[in-house]
């Protein structure tokens, strides 16, 4: 096992843009659409998912040779569920406010296909250092898009970002932006813009 630094950097960068989970691979849509109604929720969901992603990529890349191919999916899910339960308890104990606003979407990280997808596509085939780089890259790639989505929706839907009011009394909030429909509209426009940017870059 050789440590190729260049390879690791490119694994890390991969998730930020070229294979960004939300705007490129379009996976992990359930939390993307459901909890980005405020910036804070987006950030918390992004970080919680990143933690689970990196931890399970580490464990799975370490024990990949021990897991028989026939039970790899249930094994991955068990490992992922362990870390998710850990996050759930941790948030309830130390960040009760965030735990209350994300509620059911924390346990649902277990079935986020981004996490299972990266185990199957990456961690089970590559070395641990590369898996860590991939996990962090994908996690940050997921987080920045969630924060951006949350910020846009919160700004138009409530006139604030991170709970700080930016638009004054004169602004009449667009209620649709904090409802599920607002998530679809914002995400669609965002993916369109990103596609345009990467097309021009070529």
Partner 1 sequence: MEKNSTRNLILTLAAIGIISALLLTFVYEWTTPYIQANQAKAQKQAINEVLPNVEEVEEVEKNGNVFYEGYDNNGNRIGVAFKNSGGGYNGMIEVMIGVDLNNEKIYKISVLNHQETPGLGARITEDDFKSNFVNKPFGDYTVVKKPPTEDTQVEAIAGATISSESITKVIENGLDKITEAYGGGN
The alpha carbon of 48 is separated from its chain's Cα centroid by a whole number of angstroms, namely 8
Any idea which residue has 């860590």 for tokens?
A: 132
Q: Under DSSP, is residue 165 helix (H, G, I), strand (E, B) or coil?
A: strand
Q: With binding defined as CB under 8 A, does residue 38 bind partner 1?
A: yes
Among 23, 27, 44, 79, binds partner 1 (CB under 8 A): 79
Strand boundaries in the chain, DSSP class E: 160-161, 164-165
Q: With binding defined as CB under 8 A, does residue 85 bind partner 1?
A: yes
User: CB of residue 195 vs partner 1: minimum separation in angstroms?
Assistant: 29
Binding mask 58-77 for partner 1 (x = CB under 8 A): --------xxxxxx--xx--
Tally the residues of the chain.
202
Q: Which is nearer to partner 1, 111 or 179 (CB)?
A: 179
Chain residues 147-176 in contact with partner 1, contact rule CB under 8 A: 157-158, 173, 175
Give burial (CB, 10 Å; 0-12/13-18/19+) of 29: middle
The alpha carbon of 71 is separated from its chain's Cα centroid by a whole number of angstroms, namely 26
User: CB of residue 158 vs partner 1: minimum separation in angstroms?
Assistant: 5
Q: Which residue, 176, 141, 145, 143, is CA-closest to 158?
A: 176
Residues of the shown chain interacting with partner 1 in the complex, contacts defined by CB under 8 A: 37-38, 41, 66-71, 74-75, 78-79, 81-82, 85-86, 89-90, 92-94, 96, 100-101, 103-104, 157-158, 173, 175, 178-179
């Amino acid at each position: 096992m050789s440590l190729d630094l260049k390879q690791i950097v490119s694994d890390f960068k991969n998730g930020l843009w070229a294979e960004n989970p939300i705007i490129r691979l379009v996976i992990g849509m359930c939390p993307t659409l459901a909890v980005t109604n405020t910036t804070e929720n987006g950030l918390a969901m992004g970080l919680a998912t990143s933690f689970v992603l990196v931890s399970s990529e580490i464990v799975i890349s370490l024990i990949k040779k021990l897991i028989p191919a026939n039970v790899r999916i249930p094994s991955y899910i068990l490992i992922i569920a362990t870390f998710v339960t850990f996050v759930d308890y941790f948030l309830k104990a130390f960040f009760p406010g965030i735990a209350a606003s994300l509620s059911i979407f924390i346990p649902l990280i277990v079935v986020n296909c981004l996490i299972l997808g990266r185990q199957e596509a990456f961690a089970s085939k590559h070395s641990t250092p590369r898996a860590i780089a991939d996990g962090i890259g994908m996690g940050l790639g997921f987080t920045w898009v969630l924060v951006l989505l949350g910020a846009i929706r919160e700004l138009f839907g409530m006139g604030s970002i991170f709970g700080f009011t930016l638009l004054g009394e004169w602004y009449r909030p667009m209620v649709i932006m904090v409802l599920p429909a607002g998530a679809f509209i914002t995400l669609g426009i965002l993916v369109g813009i990103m596609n345009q940017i990467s097309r021009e870059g070529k």
